[in-house]
Copies of this chain bind each other. A is one copy, B any other.
């Protein structure tokens, strides 16, 4: 399996960063390949605009969706968008790792959705939900909340993103992995949450792992003192 992790947190020592490193280690130890779009490290620009379309079809009026469709057909997207398309195309599983800010993703990830999941590539001409452009791929939201969060509350907050965005473009959307308020946890409890994430990913990817490797545990080496 090939996995893309889209990571959106400004602090490399954060608990979110520890989660992404845990995922990389776990997946690679189980024989999968992984690449990470670390949006802050990439200085990804989340603002949809003319810069997406170096060869805009109609420079007199920015009709964003129409330009998306044309840029996809003519392969004239800005490289930073085309690269993300390539990463998605390669991936069997996409993990979105982020802290929930204002009941949603940080803006840097919202802009990744705005710019990358464009008409033509991700949906359009009736290609939505089961026939969306990302069909055949799985998506997992792996998120932290600022405080303790019930499964029902998390489901409500993440619903538009899971159903209205990810399922809409064809992903099979997995149950989200939620950590409530890592900053308020003890170091041991944070370590336990990383272990839970490790086990969740092992179970998740087990059925697609080469035989014999499925129950091989990856060591957990990350410092659970890292905070959200």
Residues of A whose CB lies within 8 Å of any CB of B are: 10-11, 13-14, 40, 46-50, 61-65, 101-108, 110-111, 113-114, 117, 146, 157, 160-161, 164-165, 183, 227
Contact = CB atoms under 8 A, between A and B. Distances in A.
Contacts of A14: 62
Contacts of A157: 160, 164
Contact of A107 (B40, B61, B114): B114
Contacts of A165: 102-103
Nearest 9 A/B pairs, CB to CB:
A107-B111, A46-B107, A103-B164, A103-B160, A107-B110, A11-B62, A110-B110, A107-B107, A10-B49
Contacts of A146: 65
Contacts of A110: 102, 104-107, 110-111
**Which of the listed residues A13, A105, A106, A107 has the most CB atoms from chain B within 10 Å of its own CB?**
A107
B161 A103 contact: yes
